[in-house]
Structure 1
Amino acid sequence: MQPSTTPPDTVVVGRIGRPHGVRGEVTVEVRTDDPDLRFAPGAALLTEPAGRGPLTVTGSRWHREVLLLSVEGPGGRPVDSREAAEELRDTLLHVPVAELPPLEDPDAYYDHQLVGLTARLPDGTELGEVVAVRHEGADLLVVRRVDGGELLVPFVTAIVPTVDLPGGALVVDPPEGLLDL
């Protein structure tokens, strides 16, 4: 696996999946709340691995519940065949964090803001570090425990009552059994 060459001040908004048809369209696993804005024609997307882009969206449409994109590669080179689209499979699509709109809800966070925070119990004991956020029906924080292993913490106010972004930490007030391995 290649090391990441994408700047740290970006956030993943999608992942290219399999080709669709024979004219170069690609399916996209959407990882943004506003795909119609983020993947609008003309949108520029950074890529990981970096050698595959940047990509410019030339067309965007929904097919059933799957987003399909037509894109151009570096230098305006169109991706216009199934083979060219296949070369983009598993490419992560990034945008600069600075392009993200501010969140209106003070209790809402972008995933990248939560990753890296220290998870602490209400008494201040360090539980571990948030290493990912999963969206599987409910939002789940993936915490790499200090004592080894991972813990999935439902990201709801009753269990995570405090998020202190400037302080780099959040409080996990676990219900009985959550911390059991």
Structure 2
Amino acid sequence: MINILDKTFVPFISKEDIETRITELAALISKDYKESCPVFLVVLNGAFLFAGELVKRIPLSCEITFIRLASYSQTESAGSVTEIFGIDKSLENRDVIIIEDIVDTGLTMSQLLKQIGKMSPKSVEIATLLHKPEALKTPVIIRYKGFEIANRFVVGYGLDYDGIGRNLDSIYVVA
């Protein structure tokens, strides 16, 4: 068990299971994009650990860029998305892979997909470490999923509770 601020969390997904799944996702992406030089669009802050581990296992020529969005307040989705800083490169006629830490309501991803669609990419796919299908409020197609989980609040491996817990090497769930 660990305590973060006013909440107690228990182990949920181990470091070893995360690393194994990331290796599997990297192999799938490498196979699918072997004839391409994809752009990995990393959604900050949460996806930084997942993205780092994923892309270092992909032996392709690629580009990496970042976007920062905010959609959470404490443990709940705020229901709206604020762009803190945006995409700084042309995505026209490029294969884009969005790397996200977690897709739950789908609202953030839906808005990001609309924004990217206006930039005329060749293709856009999503790679997420976690997916909460029960929490979806808008449909989102996710090609590369690490783990499907129940609609519970999690921290670790980039995910936080009010800014704390991102540095944990495993994923914990609120007790």
Q: Does TM, normalized by the shorter one, top 0.5?
A: no
More strand by share: 1
Normalising by the smaller structure, the TM-score range is under 0.3
More helix by share: 2
Higher relative contact order (CA 8 A, sep 6+): 2
> Structure 1 length normalisation: TM-score?
0.21
Q: Which structure has the greater CA radius of gyration?
A: 1
